[in-house]
């Protein structure tokens, strides 16, 4: 284990996936309270065409340009979801499903074209589907970490405003908070988190990085602040443990291991969580049954 940690490439990857997990858990908690968990899945898949188009335009796998392409594509997907919802009778969930399927299909088509182009089959673009953190170089890691820390900073510095925006939009209007501006910033940080994580986790599994830590944290607290901290912690620990586990084997993909660790936290939270965890519910049910039985016994004995 010590030799693995001393490996410079593993150290950088470990740092980047931990930071990504922290950012994903934080913005995922906000997506949970906005009831937009499917939005993260839709935008993750919508980012794929932008990645491939950016590669076709510049002719090389430069992470910064690929991130810009992914961000543009995901933002177009977000705009289309809002436009379809506002200008038709189609529900938001249906619009998200449509954008997810169409953009992902378009991305796979472009990926096939790119892989058949000169040098395309060696570009490593396939890693953006399933994720391959080990293929990242130091410049990729630094870019990813800088953007992840920016996401965390934006949420931390505006915590009070985010809380008002999520839970009482009428009050937010009353104090002069721009709902359109807050929605724009929220979409921007959500898209940023998604696009920086797709190389490490992949477009398919990135949504799980956003959703699972937040859902797990919900079983431990009703407080938004506590849930935000717990969700961020679950995401960061999942990123670290998943990366370390995948480093034990040759060619083991990092993204799936991160998601499996996150799923483990969810199972623990589901069973042992103090807020409606299965074990707590079972104990409460047994206590209620015993109280009812005791009352029945007292009543049958004529004691009131």
Nearest to 20 by CA among 162, 194, 174, 170: 194
C-alpha to C-alpha distance for 100 and 42, rounded to whole angstroms: 4
Straight-line distance from the first to the last Cα atom of the chain, in angstroms, rounded to the nearest whole number: 66
| Chain Cα centroid distance, residue 20 | 9
pLDDT, position 7: 54
Mean pLDDT (10-residue bins), the chain, 304 residues: 57 86 93 86 89 85 84 92 89 89 91 74 65 74 88 92 89 87 91 86 86 93 91 94 83 84 95 87 86 80 58
Q: Is 178 helix (H, G, I), strand (E, B) or coil?
A: coil
pTM: 0.85
- What are 127-163's pLDDT values in tens digits? 777 777 767 777 878 888 889 999 999 999 999 999 9
Q: Are 197 and 71 in contact (CB under 8 A)?
A: no
d(CA 33, CA 299): 46
Cα dihedral 223, 43, 256, 245 sign: negative
Predicted local confidence at residue 121, as pLDDT: 53
Would you state the pLDDT for residue 287? 87
Q: Residue 246: what pLDDT?
A: 83
Spell out the domains of the chain, with CATH numbers in brackets. 2-204 (1.10.3470.10)
Of 251, 142, 129, 148, the residue nearest 198 (C-alpha): 129
pLDDT at 269: 94
From 69, 89, 82, select the one nearest 42 (Cα to Cα).
82
- Total count of residues recorded for the chain: 304
Residue 38 neighbours by CB under 8 Å, 6+ apart: 93, 96, 97
What is residue 119's predicted lDDT score, i.e. its pLDDT?
A: 57
- 86-87-90-96 Cα dihedral, nearest 10 degrees: -60
DSSP letter assigned to residue 247: T
The reported pLDDT for the residue numbered 267 is: 95
Confirm if 262 and 140 have CB atoms less than 8 A apart.
no
What does the pLDDT read at residue 5? 52
In 58-213, where do the E strands start and end?
none
């Amino acid at each position: 284990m010590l030799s693995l940690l001393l490996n410079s490439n593993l150290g950088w990857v470990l740092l980047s996936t931990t930071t990504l997990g922290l950012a994903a858990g934080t913005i995922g908690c906000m997506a949970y309270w906005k009831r937009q968990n499917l939005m993260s899945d839709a935008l993750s898949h919508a980012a794929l065409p932008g990645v491939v188009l950016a590669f076709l335009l510049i002719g090389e796998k430069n992470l910064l340009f690929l991130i810009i392409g992914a961000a543009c594509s995901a933002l177009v997907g977000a705009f289309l979801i809002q436009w379809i919802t506002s200008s038709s009778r189609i529900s938001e969930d249906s619009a998200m499903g449509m954008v997810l399927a169409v953009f992902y299909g378009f991305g796979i088509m472009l990926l096939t074209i790119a892989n058949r182009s000169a040098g395309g089959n060696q570009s490593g673009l396939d890693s953006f589907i399933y994720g391959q953190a080990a293929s990242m170089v130091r410049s990729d890691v630094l870019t990813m970490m800088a953007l992840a820390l920016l996401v965390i900073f934006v949420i931390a510095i505006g915590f009070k405003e985010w809380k008002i925006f999520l839970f009482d939009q009428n009050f937010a209007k009353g104090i002069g908070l721009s709902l359109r501006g807050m929605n724009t910033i929220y979409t921007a940080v959500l898209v940023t988190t998604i696009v920086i994580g797709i190389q490490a986790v992949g477009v398919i599994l990135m949504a799980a990085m956003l959703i699972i830590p937040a859902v797990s944290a919900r079983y431990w607290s009703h407080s938004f602040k506590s849930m935000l901290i717990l969700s961020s912690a679950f995401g960061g620990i999942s990123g670290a443990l998943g990366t370390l586990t995948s480093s034990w084997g040759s060619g083991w993909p990092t993204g799936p291991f991160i998601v499996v660790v996150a799923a483990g936290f969810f199972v623990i939270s589901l069973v042992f969580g103090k807020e409606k965890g299965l074990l707590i519910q079972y104990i409460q049910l047994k206590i209620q049954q015993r109280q009812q039985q005791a009352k029945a016994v007292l009543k049958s004995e004529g004691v009131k």
